[in-house]
Structure 1
Amino acid sequence: MLSKILAEKREEAVKQVCLDPPSVSKPLKEKTTKAERRALQEAQRAAKAASKANGSTAVAESVKAAGAKIKKQSSQKKDGPPVTPSVTNDKKSGNRPLEKDRKKDAPPQRMQFDDENRVEKAKRRALVNQTEARNRVELFRHLPQYEHGPQLANLESKLFQLDSVHPAVFKVGLRYMAGDISGVNARCIEMLRALQEAIIDYSTPPEKVFFRDLTTKISSYISFISECRPLSISMGNAIRFVKSRIAKLPLSHTDAEAKAALCSDIDRFIHEKIIIADKVIVGHAATKVRDGDVLLTYGLSSVVEMILLYAHDLGKRFRVVVIDSRPKLESQALLTRLMAKGLSCTYTHINAVSYIMHEVTKVFLGASAVLSNGTVLSRVGTACVAMVAHAFRVPVLICCEAFKFHERVLLDSICCNEIGDPGDVATVPGRMDVNYLDNWTTEKNLQLLNLMYDVTPSDYVSVIVTDHGMIPSTSVPVIVREYGQEHYLI
């Protein structure tokens, strides 16, 4: 019995020596810097705070992990380049940068024009004196509803009085307000060219930083343009590209080098994201045109026009049905150009689309934007054409460049839209005998609505032809995620 007790005590002594060897055999303690000791203290405080919920085990593990990290950093200092100590306190440096990035990625909130306080503040800052329409549509009070016409002459008189707006930007704003520039691509290109001229003429004021002051200038120019006419989604993407390129300019660049780099980036954006993208879309879509097809299109889309002309140049024999609608009657310009090239065409209005759809084999439509849930934002009437085609089992092909894709989600065309001149709906050009609503503004109980865009649900879209290939509408979020940041890296 005694021998057994002695054996147990001997084993305990051996274990104690193994766990805690004599001080003679202990290695010298590694010397740490003041910053490393501060980092270790912060880690210990964080571990103690976490231990209130998790118990003393979390404290020991956190302190042990922090000590191992400090030792690893000190060993790296001896063997390699210096390592900057990092504080592991989640409250100070853990979540804030991530939340900031998420806020930047989120689409900006649009101003609701039924908020009187915000509207009054915006009016005080605005350069364009807009007059609210007298007969506003109640359902769309959250959208700007201004009188069209009077502010254009008032703004032209200020051409040489507004020093805060570059002349090129001012002229583009006037053309937007007058309706001289139509089409999403054309509006985007004109805006980028105007910003390019403004960047070339920009000079940094004293005691100012180039990229910060230029970003402020660009923002003021964009505010003026949006006052003349609301921006499209693709224009918003282009503006984000320009601002991101300004923010990523190297600090070592001189002003001349920075301006040259920005102008080169804008040129590449226009060339690659619009011009080359349209050519790629034309090549993909033309493969879907067969001899004997009857192709239907609606509105005036530059890329759809290019597809029809390219397929005709390839020698394919087909007929085109051009659908049009009031008040703009944009398809008449498309019809004229197609007939000049020798294409066989049929022209009718949108109210007869259900009567002619049984002859159609494919529908080609343009788009102002494609949203993350697969819905298509396009000229008002596009949804009607797509729904009729779906009912007749006719495939609908949406032709849209990838830079028009956006992470926003829309379920209807009410919350986000643009309202045109209501007077265009009240009159019929060349028909004075049917213009019964000439004085409609004097009628208090009459409101006219002229919506510019509508939303086509993804269920009525067969395929979306983009510069990344032909994809289903369910793959739009993939394009937004994988290629959404691509144009910032051109």
Structure 2
Amino acid sequence: MRELEIEQHEKKKKPAFGINNAHPDVHPAILTLGVQMNQFILVGSSARCLGFMLAMKRLINDYECPAGATISRHLPGHYFSRQIDYLISARPMSTALGNSIRWLKTEIAAISPELSEEAAKKLLCEKIDVFIRERITAASEAIVNTTAGRYINDGDTILTFSKSSVVEKSLLEAHSRGTNFKVLVVDSSHLFEGKNLLTTLVRAGIDVEYIKAALVDHYMGSVTRALLGAHSLQANGSLHSRAGCSKIARSASQKGIPVIVCCESIKFSEKFTSDGIIGNEFGDTDIIAPDNNCDNGGMFGGWRNQPTTSLSSFMFDTTPARYIKAVISEHGTLGPTNCPNVLRANSSSTPLR
């Protein structure tokens, strides 16, 4: 049953990506963003969310409302949808990007038809600036201050997986405050983002050790805390993050090492999955079955010649809430299952002005 589920998921059709396949209405800034996402130049969900908001500011500034229409009716309709369809063809939509799109469409629809076109465009751009400042920049700063001040102490050995921008900033901030600690960077085989984190920490003068995920159990004895980033935090408290994160969290938790997740509330999701398959993203199968290994008769030798055989290399996995000690967001330190409470608080709060 599971093999069938994976096969059906892998064969699910997605729009073909490419600038030549984009609708003529797609704005140049969105075209550029899509290429950056597709080529993994913009990788993290926070970076993609910020890139989208900045691209939408350019789109709004260049936008001209058709005669007889209003911005609140025309902009969030087919014109807006064509921008999103193009981005989805570049890469599956992340939770942060989806939440940002819903917020922006709501704000556009709320624009008074009494406003002039220029005034409406100016107001929308101002709201986007506030959104970036409050939900991305200030949220990250709050998490960094909490993490560096309370969860990175003298003598600690901090384990982190792959690369998270907010975890990276937390480590750099703790070091700048004079905290003496060591970092163990465990890397994923998909994009080797941990190498970028390693380079940054070494340049800052932080004591760092770099290992592959397969060796993590041998190094757990010296670890005092695990700091992990998030692709999204689901409604049941489970963590959706880079493939391999679940193994890291489980191993740490079973050895009594607290697992702390740093996650902005823009990544909180109202949905959850029972496994890591639904809503996942496929990576390069050469990671698990390199051509040189297959050609030499390795474990997967000859699989490409088998018509009934296919391999799936998932980019993300799901970590159950029971392996997570706490989640640090801009709202403070929470239990992983408190995600729905934050979502309700955000939805009932006054819209950004």
Equivalent position to 1:464, from 294, 319, 327: 327
Shift of 1:412: 1.4
User: Which residue in 2 is equivalent to 1:190?
Assistant: 51
Shift of 1:141: 4.1
Residues 334-356 of structure 1, C-alpha deviation per residue, up to 9 Å, x if partnerless? 00110111111111111111111
User: Which residue in 2 is equivalent to 1:228?
Assistant: 90
Equivalent position to 2:66, from 182, 193, 205: 205
Q: Residues of 1 paired with 2:113 and 2:19: CA distance?
A: 39
| TM-score, normalised by the number of residues in structure 1 | 0.66
1:361 pairs with 2:227: no
Report matched runs for 1:394-405 at 5 Å.
Answer: 394-405=257-268
Conserved in 1, the CA contact under 8 Å of 2:243 and 2:314? yes
Conserved in 1, the CA contact under 8 Å of 2:131 and 2:352? no
- Give the match's secondary structure for 1:251: coil
Conserved in 1, the CA contact under 8 Å of 2:238 and 2:320? yes
Change (3 A) 1:261 1:141: farther
Conserved in 2, the CA contact under 8 Å of 1:195 and 1:218? no
Residues 2-44 of structure 1, C-alpha deviation per residue, up to 9 Å, x if partnerless? xxxxxxxxxxxxxxxxxxxxxxxxxxxxxxxxxxxxxxxxxxx
Shift of 1:371: 1.4
The structure number with the bigger radius of gyration is 1
Amino acid at match of 2:258: P
| TM-score, normalised by the number of residues in structure 2 | 0.91
- Give the match's secondary structure for 1:237: helix
Amino acid at match of 2:210: Y
1:380 pairs with 2:246: no
User: Which residue in 1 is equivalent to 2:141?
Assistant: 279
Amino acid at match of 2:66: P
1:219 pairs with 2:85: no
RMSD: 2.4
Equivalent position to 1:389, from 249, 252, 256: 252
Report matched runs for 1:108-119 at 5 Å.
Answer: none
- Give the match's secondary structure for 2:114: coil
Q: Residues of 2 paired with 1:367 and 1:435: CA distance?
A: 37
Q: Residues of 2 paired with 1:403 and 1:370: CA distance?
A: 10
Over the matched positions of the two proteins, sequence identity in percent amounts to 32
Shift of 1:139: 2.5
Change (3 A) 1:388 1:489: same
Shift of 1:428: 8.0
Q: State which drifts further: 138-147 or 460-469.
A: 138-147
Shift of 1:485: 4.4
Give the number of equivalent residue pairs.
Answer: 347
User: Which residue in 2 is equivalent to 1:340?
Assistant: 203
Change (3 A) 1:482 1:146: closer
Change (3 A) 1:272 1:222: same
Shift of 1:486: 3.8
Q: Residues of 1 paired with 2:152 and 2:71: CA distance?
A: 51
Equivalent position to 2:153, from 272, 285, 290: 290
Conserved in 1, the CA contact under 8 Å of 2:295 and 2:302? no
Change (3 A) 1:185 1:281: same
1:245 pairs with 2:107: yes
Q: Residues of 2 paired with 1:349 and 1:189: CA distance?
A: 30
Q: Residues of 2 paired with 1:318 and 1:404: CA distance?
A: 29
Amino acid at match of 2:26: V
User: Which residue in 1 is equivalent to 2:6?
Assistant: 140
- Alignment gaps of 5+ in structure 1: 1-136
Q: Which has the higher contact order (CA 8 A, sep 6+)?
A: 2
Change (3 A) 1:328 1:428: farther
- Give the match's secondary structure for 2:317: strand
